[in-house]
Amino acid sequence: MKTWIAAVLVLLFGALAPDAGAAHQAPVRIGLTATFPNDQYRALEEWRRYLERRLERPVEFVRRDSYAEAMDLLRLQKIDFAWVCEYPFVFFKGQMKLLAIPLYRGRPYYQSYLIVPAGDRSTRSITQLEGTVFAYADPYSNTGYLSPRFDLQQAGYDPQQFFRKTIFTWSHRKTVEAVASGLAQGGAVSSHVWETLSTVKPELTAATRVVATSAEFGFPPFVARTEIGAAVFDDLQRVLLTMSEDEDGRRLLRQLNLDGFMRGDPALYDRVDSMIRSFSAQ
């Protein structure tokens, strides 16, 4: 009798236990950077769980404050994938593989927003901010660093000498906070981050004013380390590309203020490549 009961218990608990093969697979490690507003922790946790279910293996999000740190982790194979800015994708060409590009408002593009405090009603362009304190997001950010410096260069100014002082905030959200609080008289941020904050933190963006918008740039891509295995690359790409096809995926995309993902083309980042070359030629 005892033997029979023991056998039943083994079968019962074996059926309830998680799949041993899935539990012992190495986690998929995804680096997240300033590309994403840094206070949507609940949305990120729900997204992580969604990816785990779809991939049928553990998923870890690895948060880093700078793009350089994320790139170092990719090169050292400490993470498998990362959501990075298009600037490091172009600058470190050949050191990562393009996985997918998010779709924002139905298209794979976004812009740089030049912002000032809401009380500043006179500034119309970056050239009017000479001698002020200006907030950049990250030295490897396109919309938060490269784009405004390129605008100054094209207008005939030296970006190194133009402002009285510049600061790096290490996130687009913190740039908005710096301008909203008056710590900086101007700043440059991702349109996606500013528009997302205008929904989840409207009192913050209301304390700023968008002065000018840049040309369109290819949206910050998801990338993979070059040595990643084909199977895990294809699996994550498939999950991202089909997120818009199920209700849970669509709900998460709404929380991320995205519409979906596409495979994309590196040519989307040719404008950024030209901007980088313009500084290299000096």
Do 177 and 100 fall within a single domain?
A: no
The number of residues making up the chain comes to 282
How confident is the model over 69-77, as a mean pLDDT?
Answer: 93
Do 57 and 193 fall within a single domain?
A: no
How many domains, in total, are found in the chain? 2
Residue 182 one-letter amino acid:
G
Conformational region of residue 70, where left means phi above 0, alpha means psi within -120 to 50, and beta covers everything else: alpha
Could you tell me the pTM of the whole model? 0.89
Do 66 and 132 fall within a single domain?
A: no
pLDDT, tens digit, 9 for 90 and up, residues 14-72: 333 444 444 568 899 999 987 776 566 788 899 999 999 999 999 999 998 889 999 99
CATH of the domain at 187: 3.40.190.10
Cβ proximity of 125 and 186 under 8 Å: no
**What is the DSSP pairing of strand 165-168 with strand 133-136?**
parallel
